[in-house]
Amino acid sequence: MLKPETMFEKVWAAHQVVPETADTPAIIFIDLHLTHEVTSPQAYSVLRERGLKLRRPDLTIATMDHATPTRTSQVFGGAPITIDSAANQIRQLEKNCAEFGVELLGLQDARRGIVHIIGPELGITQPGKTIVCGDSHTSTHGAFGALAFGIGTTEVGHVMATQCLLQNKAKTLAIEVKGKLNIGVTPKDLILAIIGQLGVSGGTGYVIEYRGEAIRAMTMEQRMTICNMSIEAGARAGMIAPDDTTFTYLRGRPRAPKGANWDAAVKYWRTLPTDSGAIFDKTIEIDATSLVPMITYGTNPGMVVPINGNIPDHSGDPVFDAAMQYMGLTPGQAIKNTLINVVFIGSCTNGRLSDLRAAANVLKGHQVAKGVTLLVVPGSQEVKREAETEGLDQIFIAAGADWRESGCSMCLGMNGDTVAKGQYSVSTSNRNFEGRQGVGARTLLASPETAAASAIRGCVTDPREFF
């Protein structure tokens, strides 16, 4: 009988071109290379200098997201893009894709959006694939049972030239989420709680497989939120076994397999889940039933507390002390009721339709607090269209929010959507590092529900007060 294998081991074995040795990493084949305007220019320059072509342009796709404006007038050409570096990156990507024969979802393409949102939407993110992108949150695609991870600029060039990558095989970490999430507790709260428990380097060297009742009960969009933040625990990737929820999501997507190919694909995908009896290098358990909404207070996603909790006191720890100074918060203070200036709802973590629905559900019939800016940025143009069809945009606008075109926007502020120095932002994105949303910006990561409730009250608010 064959040795039981984890899902990661199956996907790895299916893509290993050359196994690793004591001296050299393995070489693995890459099924899908997602690219965008920020991490690809140097790689194209190297290809050009060395006279190389893309090995598999058919397995490569480009979108524009990180630096793109979110104001309609700028996206659709009525007004110039005001940041020179952003305009240069956009024009450079157009030029590179045309020269190297890469399909580009350009600035005005109806399918454009954040790279980790358009892959699933198009149906090119599929179970069992190896997927890479020059962006840390490529782990998002692991929600489909793909082995997906971020790569550096040099590696982007390697994949472009060879469609392969040098990789050391990761260890496996199972996170068993027991029980169901309570009402008002979201997948974002769960992943923040997991990172809080694991720490920001607790997943280093591992590929995480999220398992258990709470995970199986999630929609694909919710699973993507979970896998998206795997990197924030230091993990190489996060994966969730494909099941009927996965297949239902993918069926009929523009680039999902069709007809007999679909049947064959599903047959293969059903073989991917971890075999009974397979051994993980490490297993931890999380009790979903004990969780409440979570929010960060510091400068990494592991600095997180229950929304009705107090900031811990780790005074004397230089990382904690620096975080407290940067955030202008005090050890021991309750995080709830902290006054805020900005709320950002969007990003590849929480910029999907269900996230916007959840935020709109809280905001409906309310007004954003005086002095608070609420920016709502759909994760893709498709999400924007769907939200507008449902009238979600009207709920946001009526509440006093700013409703924008899709992009990464205030997740990292490369396009000019930034938080001012010293201001507090409740953000549905995935990183609260110093300066992430703007120089001196103070970011508190939370769910769309918490973000919306906080926008209404003008301070950190438990969203369950609105249910």
Interface residues toward ligand SF4, by CB under 6 A: 65-66, 114-116, 135, 137, 347-348, 408, 411-412, 429-430
Question: For residues 467 and 447, is the Cβ–Cβ distance under 8 A?
Answer: no
Cα distances (Å, whole numbers) of residue 441 to 176, 417, 433, 447: 35, 12, 9, 19
CB of 350 to ligand SF4, least distance (A): 10
Q: How far is 384 from 8, CA to CA, in rounded Å?
A: 34
Residue 66 or 129: the one with the smaller Cβ distance to ligand SF4 is: 66
Give me the half-sphere count of Cα atoms (radius 13 Å) on the Cβ side of residue 75.
24
Supply the minimum distance, in Å, between the C-beta of residue 137 and ligand SF4.
4
* Contact indicator for 244, 266 with CB cutoff of 8 Å: no
d(CA 166, CA 169): 10
How far from the centroid of its chain's Cα atoms is residue 369's Cα?
Answer: 28
* DSSP H stretches of helix in 101-212: 115-122, 153-162, 187-198
C-alpha to C-alpha distances, 124 to 120, 144, 249, 267, 295, nearest whole angstrom: 6, 11, 12, 17, 33
| Residue closer to ligand SF4, measured from CB, 74 or 138 | 138
Task: Report the residue number, 113 or 196, with the smaller CB distance to ligand SF4.
Answer: 113
Measured between alpha carbons, how far is 238 from 206 in angstroms, rounded to an integer? 9
State the DSSP string of 273-299: SPPTT---SEEEEEEGGG---EEE-SS
Closer by beta carbon to ligand SF4, 338 or else 409: 409
| CB nearer to ligand SF4: pick between 278 and 408 | 408
Shortest reach from residue 431's CB to ligand SF4, in Å:
7
Q: How far is the CB of 377 from ligand SF4 (least distance, A)?
A: 9
> Bridge partners of 172?
207
- Tell me if 200 sits within 8 A of 165, measured CB to CB: no
Q: Which residue's CB is nearer to ligand SF4, number 32 or number 288?
A: 32
Name which of 9 and 221 has its Cβ closer to ligand SF4.
221
In angstroms, give the least distance from the CB of 411 to ligand SF4: 3
Other CB atoms within 10 A of residue 357 CB:
16
Smallest separation, CB 5 to ligand SF4 (Å): 31
Q: How far is the CB of 65 from ligand SF4 (least distance, A)?
A: 6
Instruction: Name the minimum Å distance from CB 416 to ligand SF4.
Output: 14
Min separation Cβ 417 and ligand SF4, Å: 11
Q: Which residues contact 276 (CB under 8 A, 6 or more apart)?
A: 4
Q: Which residues contact 260 (CB under 8 A, 6 or more apart)?
A: none
Strand 304-306 and strand 294-296: pairing? antiparallel
122-134 burial by CB neighbour count: b if 16+ within 10 A, else e?
Answer: bbbbbbbbbbbbb
CB of 31 to ligand SF4, least distance (A): 20
Give the nearer residue to ligand SF4 in terms of CB position, either 5 or 232.
232
Nearer to ligand SF4 (CB atom), residue 347 or residue 447: 347
Cβ atoms of residues 61 and 109 within 8 Å: no
Q: Report the residue number, 265 or 377, with the smaller CB distance to ligand SF4.
A: 377
